[in-house]
Every structure is written in structure tokens, then in C-alpha cells.
Chains A and B, each alone.
Chain A
Amino acid sequence: MNSSAPTPSAAYRTTATGTPAGARLLAGWYDTGRPADLNEHLLRYGPPPVAMARGHRHSMPLLRAVEAAGLTGRGGAGFPTAAKLRAVAARRGRAVVVVNAMESEPPSRKDQFLLAVAPHLVLDGAVLAAEAVGADTVHICLPRGRPAQYQQLHTALGDRGRAHLDVVSLLLHALPHTYVSSESTSLVRWLNGGEARPLGNPPRSHERGVARLPTLVHNAETLAHLALVARYGPDWYRQTGTSDEPGTTLVTVSGAVAAPGVLEVALGTPLATLLDGAGGPTEPLRAVLLGGFAGVWLPAGHLRTPLTRHDLAELGAAPGAGALVALPRAACGLTETARVLAYLAAHSARQCGPCRLGLPAVAEDFAALAAGRPDPDLLSRLHRRTGLLPDRGACRHPDGAARLAASALRTFADDVDHHLTRGACPNAHRPPLLPVPPAEPPEAWR
């Protein structure tokens, strides 16, 4: 994606529907309808309460608050934030904090949106996390190709510098924008002077990451939530969401909905309500893609499922980074999936066998299926090859592609039949729906 304008008003819904009840990260945006500069941010929230993040690493108020709040990562994996903080805080010596704002999922815009409308909330969270783990440097990683976003954050950092707000230094970086360069080890590798390609474990970043120091990598949205937990405490945080999965989360809703955009919703909100929040479906739906290109196709019959890890796990799905795409009944899920797989294959780091050979083979088979040109062995071969992708790479890229392919074969089983026996379905010739970038290898890894 080369979209260069993070200006929210142009690309996203404005305040026409009023301030949604319970908005937290986006409350300021809903109130004012414009991005919050430092003055406005300080008026609303005051300076980051860094005293919260000081003290002994086991008893520090911030760590206890984040733990009691039950905050989890919003980058996709959903790992408990306090556990990550603790793992880095427990290491001896100086640490490093990395803000992951790469947002490489093409159907996701939430981090870009959040950084556009409330940059200082994210930066406060980064500064607080740095204080908590004993870091004096925060690296903010953005993808190249969004110069307006870079400029806006550059300005935000300048404002903070002139206000002498932070003790830690905040450094802005623009990294190669590939699908896998958002992986946390890709960031660490790039910041160490290497290519933005994933690394295998060990050592894990929290043990030895940037400059060989213990490194905390958090998604931008996660840090914004942390900044609010630091101010208002865990009880406030738990007032919304479910008891097991409290709080709000940002979602990006697109596809066949009237008003695509970024929403802030309580965890546990049914998927159908998310679609309604984005103006509702514009035509009858066949399925939704939840969790981005590494996500899962869910049949429209599951739209009453609440957005929680627990409820979605039963369907083999997960909230991921909160990207939801509505696929109309008059679309071909196989064709859409084939396009995504071709892109995922082209954008692999080409480091491990499954990504260099297995994923392109799966993508090719899927393209033949989508085109209605199968050979007799295609389906069994596709199942076998898809089954051999997970758990066999240095990162989870092949796992995500396999999850998507397998869910497509399940959810679009009727179409699979049609394509195998009677050629491509009529919908296969409709214009594509998903925003899939060209299936070409990245230009640069450094």
C-alpha cells in the first residue's frame, strides 16, 4: 500500500453519527473531529504519569495496573501486555522499546488512523513502557510510503521535545513496507542494521534484541491503551468489554458496508454490530474475512459471534488486529482468496522452505481452482500442501496463509464443488473486492 495521506477526515467517517458511547482511544477525535496536537492532548489528559512506571520491577504501580486491567496486545497475537513488560523489566541493565506501527495487513487501517488522530496517546504509552522496563530509547517504526504520516509524527515528536515532556529519546524510522516487515523480529533486525525480514528464535527479542539489549516490542494501539490504564486504572479499564477480555479495541471494517472505516468497540461486541457500526451491509453477505490476510473466512451465519478470542477460537478464528471485510453473496470467495495467496506468496521473506516452495505452490493451485481449471489431483494436493505449511517457518507467515486457504476451502465449499466440476462460477468474473496489493516481491528489505 502506498497510501500517503493519513488525514482521517478524507478517508474515514466523521462525527456524523455523534460520539459513540464508550469510545476511549478515539474519544478526542469524536469530540473534536480533528487530530489532537500536543496542546489539545495535554488539556484532555495531562502529561504521562511517569511516576506510575517507577519503582521496583515487581511492585511498580504501572505493571500491576496493566496486569489487573487484563490488557492484551492489539497487533494480532493478543499476548498479555503485562507479561511482555515483566519479561523485559526482569532483565538486567538498560532496555529498548520499539513501537510497532507497521500495520502491514492491507485491510487494516486502525494504527494509521490512531496515530493520525491521537499520536500523543501512543507516544505517552511508549514513554511509560520505556520507564517501566528501564529503557532510555524508544524506536517508532513506520512503513515507508506514508510520508504524510511520517511528517505528522515528526512534528508531534518535535512538539514534545520543545515542551521537554520526555526523559527518554524517541526516534522515528521508516522501514521497508512489506507484509512480513511488521513482524517484531523484522523490526529488531532492521534496527540492528539488517534487513526487515523475520528472524527465528532464539534469542528472543526480550532477551537480546536491539543493540543486543532486552527489547520490548508493542503495537501502537496497545501502547495507547496502556497510556489510559496508567491514568485511569484497571477498574476503569474493565468497565467495558467482557470480564475475561476487558476493554475496547479498534477495528477496521471494509468491503460491502455503507461506511467503511475504523471503529472503537468493546471486546465482546458481535461481528454483526461491527458491520452496523460501519453503516451496515450494502447487500446480502456470504462471509466475512476476520483478522486480515492471515485471518479466517467466516460464513455469514456466524455474524452473531462476539469479538473475543474465546468465542472466535471455537470457530478457528481470532480477532487478530481487528480487520473485518464483508464479502457480498455475489462475490467469489475463491477468487478473492487466490489473489490474497498470490500476494502472500510474493511477499514472503523467502527464507524458509515452506515459504519459498510450499506457499507459492499453494497459491498456484488456488489460482487454478479459482479459474476453474483444476487437474484431477488439485484438491487433495491443495489440502496436503496447505496442511504442511503451519509451524514450519521461522515466523508465522506460512501459518497465516495456510489458515486463510483452509478456511476458504471450508467456507466456500459449494464454490469449490462448482469450480472443480463446472468451471469458474459467474461471480469469479466480477471486479475484485479485497484491497490486495500487486503480487510482486518487495522492492527492498533494507
Chain B
Amino acid sequence: MRERKAQVWGLLAPTLFLMFAIGVVPVIYILYLSAFKYNVFSRVGMVYTGFNNFRKLVFDTDFLKSLRLGLTFVALCCGIELPLGLLIANLLTLEFRGKGLFRTIMTLPLAMAPITIGSMWVLLMNPDIGPIPFYLRKLGVEYNIGVNPTQAFFTTVLVDIWHWTPFVVLTFMAGLSALPKQPYEAAVVDGASRWQVFRYITIPLLKPVILTTLFIRIMDTFRVFDEVWMLTSGGPGTATRYVSIHLVRLVLQSMEYGYSSAMSLFLLYLTIVMCWLLMTFISSSQEAA
């Protein structure tokens, strides 16, 4: 038996070692660095400053603005994608010819590299060559995401909708097809309207899937980087400077490793808390059901 135990740890050892090296060590390193003032260009090297970086972080208006902007982006994307996805998935419950083809088309954006999606939309939105600014100009609308902050912000939302609404639709379609049939038959016997069936049967039954999807979408939109980086790099000004973009720009431009680490640690903490809260919420609502 003891021999078996050693063998089991033998199976786990490489994974544990690797995950410790690339998953745990960096976090400890961030923790360590966040207590220092460490700029590559400064001649003094690392200077211990205790909690100074965190004090700076709490009063950093740029960071707080990027956090607010990021959360607005999350709310807007999820607020549009989920109802839209639910609506479409609910419409597509019936069988029809070409459903398989439709699903294949919907899967396409999910497999594409986010950076490709960014460059694809650059090709569409560029004021010199893109068809969208071209036709909008004919309608009398000047459209330039490199200049107009509002347009840039809503363009990133549009790209996210393009990228992830198919995911929401496919998830909800899978969830809907797994629902039991009896409640629906009972509702038809009782003469319930379409809206009533949707509101009082579909939504409650689909709740676990809806919450899981919402959770994944919240976390993914919060950490969005590639598409926005390719499309606007956070500009114009700070219009699309969401948290990840803000952090990367800070690292690349200022090389303030200590302060960046403090910010990283805070974001990591925020992610874990958000994950934990949402997952607790999901499991408690599943128990209640």
C-alpha cells in the first residue's frame, strides 16, 4: 500500500512541480516586489517602501478610472450579450434545415485568435480603407475610432458582442435542449402564453446555465486585452484603457516594476474575490432551486 502511495505522488509530482514554478512562484514574487520601489532606469535599484505602493494605488486616479471603465465595459457587454443570446437561442429551439451549418458559423468566432479578431476589425474600421467609415461618411456621419472616444468605446463593445454572443447562444442552445419536456407540456395544457412559458418555465429551469455563462462572461470581459489592444491600444486618450491595457501600458512605458506589481496583486486579488463570490452565489442559488 505504501508503495502505491509513492506511485500516486509520482504521477502528480511533475504537474505539482511545474504549477508551483509557474503558478505560485510568480505570485510570491509579485508579493515581494510590491513592497519595493523598483525602476529599471533608477540608479539606486530596489528601495524598500513597505505599503507605499498600495497607498499610491488607492489614490491613483488613472488606475481608478481604468477600473471604472473596465467595469462599465463588463456591464455593457454582459448586459447586451446575455439577453440577446437568450432571445436568439430561444428562437432557435425548433428543428430546421441548416441548423448544423448555422452552428458551425457561430463556432467560428470562438476558435479565432483574439488578436486576429482585432486585426480583422481594424481592416473594417480604419478610416482610410474600411467600408464602415466609408459608408457612414456617405450618410453624413464622421466615424473615426482613432479620434472619437465615444465611438472607440462602443466599437470595442461591438467587437466583443461579435466575438462572444455566439458563445452565449450556443451555450443556451445546449442548455435548452437538455431541459425536461414535461413542464412545457403541462403549460400547454394549462393554456399558458408564450411569454408566460418563457418567464415562468424556461428562465427558472435554465438558471444554472445562465449564471454559469454570466460568470464566464464577467471574468472574460474584465480581463479583455488582445482585441482592444489591436484595435485602439487603449486610446484615443484613455477612452478604452481597460484594466489589463492600463497595466500593460504602465509596465511598458514607466518600467515601474514595484508599483506595477502592487497593481497586479490588487487585480489578482480582485479576480479571486470575484470568482469566489460568483461561484458561491451560483452554488447557493442552485441549492435553493
Chains A and B form a bound pair: no
